Amino acid sequence: MKYSIARYWRERHSHYRLKAVRCLDCNRVNYPPSTICRYCGSKNLEEIELFEQARLLTWSVIHAATEGFEDYKPIIIAIVELVDSKVKILTQLTDIDLDEIKPGMLLEPVLRRVSEDDATGIIQYAIKYRPVLKRGD
Ligand SMILES: [Zn+2]
């Protein structure tokens, strides 16, 4: 997909943040955000950002990246469960070797480059997850 600079500027907040809503009646988190709580039907919701540690549930590795993504191979697509909100999201893993990946491992969100548009020079970023580093290593 080609991006104009104007469009990228308009959408910059949604690219860099993982938005959800918390229900003020049942306290559950709805992701993706909605206007009605999918658990209790309440419209009493507050917007929150999900920037939490997560546990790895499952993953798949893409070795044959499409044009424009060759520099990012292998691309590791994962489903993770956020530790506090219990929200499950589809994301990418980064800063990890394939033989280090273990189900249930603890991950943390980081902002990482996704691609670069040659025509506009726009570098696109998104939230990816990396292993939580053991302090003192
Ligand atoms: Zn609710």
Reported as a single tens digit per residue, the pLDDT across 83-134 is 999 999 999 999 999 999 999 999 999 988 777 776 777 777 788 999 997 6
Q: Which residues neighbour ligand 1 (ion) by CB within 5 Å?
A: 23, 25-26, 37, 39-40, 42
Distance from the CA of 93 to the center of ligand 1, in angstroms? 31
Q: Are 47 and 18 in contact (CB under 8 A)?
A: no
3-state secondary structure of 28: coil
Higher per-residue pLDDT: 72 or 128: 128
Q: How far is CA 62 from CA 36, 37, 71, 109, in A?
A: 36, 35, 12, 20
Q: What is the mean pLDDT of residues 21-42?
A: 95
Per-domain residue ranges for the chain?
A: 5-131
Please report the DSSP string for 34-86 in residue order: -SS-TTT----EEEEE----EEEEEEEEE-SPPTT-GGGPSEEEEEEEETTT-
Q: Is the pLDDT of residue 3 over 70?
A: no
What is the SS3 assignment for 100? helix
Gap from CA of 44 to ligand 1 centroid (Å): 8
